[in-house]
Amino acid sequence: MRLAEPLQPGAHLNGVLAGFRLGGGGANTAVALAAAGHTVILLAAVGRDAMGDALLVELAAAGVETRWITRLDQPTTHSLILIDPMGERTVVNVARCEDEALPEQLLAIPAEAVYVRSRRCDLGPLLAAKASSAWVVAHLPPLETNVRPAHILVASASDLEPNALQDPLTLGHRISGGQARWMVVTRGAAGASAWSKDAQWEMPAETVQPVDTTGAGDAFAAGLLHALVNDQPLTGALAMAVRFGTEATLWNTSGLPASAVQRLLR
């Protein structure tokens, strides 16, 4: 829904419904990576309903491998996205379709990199096992101790308490059980920051007029992963991630269009 006025508590607002579109952090990142030429397998769940059918068709058309997606007897995850006149989005989760079983098939799937976009707190043993053969990049939250044994942790500054930003690397080590090599914090229009045990990087973003900020963090993750599996150093990966994230704000979509990804890579 596009709002005619800024979102504010207690107000009566005018808006225009803009229809349904593919979304979800995993799907948004997968679509961008597929457009970049990667073989991408999505582990997720959708309902046995018309919306689930439509999402699988759209993902397959975008080049994402869907055969590992679970079908459940519950409504497919969907959210209401409120977009204000400045392009800023507010997400209201309406239904969440989640498989209670652990995605143990992850261990059988060959991969250069695994991206985790989930708030589940029971994935630690699977990720620790997978980290011996693939890059593991995990989005935060969750923020509990030892919950994300990943090489790289990515968090939005808006999802962290102010005191956490005073020492992000210590936070990353606690959450990853000491596994994290880098802690990355995205800062919206200000770009992103990254920390390792030896250095800190700041990567500014190009100044743009956002149309829709939905999925910008997911596009950021896609750019980061693309660079990492192409053996770029962190500075290069961070720069590409910021470009992907910035580009995502210029489109009325949740996932980067293939044409935008291909232009960024040229």
Instruction: Label residues 98-134 b or e (16+ Cβ within 10 Å = b).
Output: eeeeebeebeeeebebbbbbbeeeebbebbbebbeeb
What sign results for the dihedral spanned by CA atoms 110, 261, 254, 175?
A: positive
Q: What would the pLDDT profile of 23-39 be if each residue is shown by its tens digit?
A: 999 999 999 999 999 99
- Is 0.85 surpassed by the pTM of this model? yes
CB 175 within 8 A of CB 183: no
Cα–Cα distance, 32 to 37 (Å, whole number): 9
Q: What would the pLDDT profile of 55-66 be if each residue is shown by its tens digit?
A: 999 999 999 999
Q: What would the pLDDT profile of 192-247 be if each residue is shown by its tens digit?
A: 999 999 999 999 999 999 999 999 999 999 999 999 999 999 899 999 999 999 99
Please name the amino acid found at residue 161. Answer: E
What integer pLDDT is reported at residue 149 of this predicted model?
A: 98
Cα–Cα distance, 116 to 94 (Å, whole number): 22
What integer pLDDT is reported at residue 163 of this predicted model?
A: 84
Q: Hey, what are 247's tokens?
A: 């580009």
CB 218 within 8 A of CB 33: no
Say which DSSP state 252 is in: S
What domains lie within the chain, and their CATH numbers? 2-258 (3.40.1190.20)
Q: What would the pLDDT profile of 85-103 be if each residue is shown by its tens digit?
A: 999 999 999 999 999 999 9
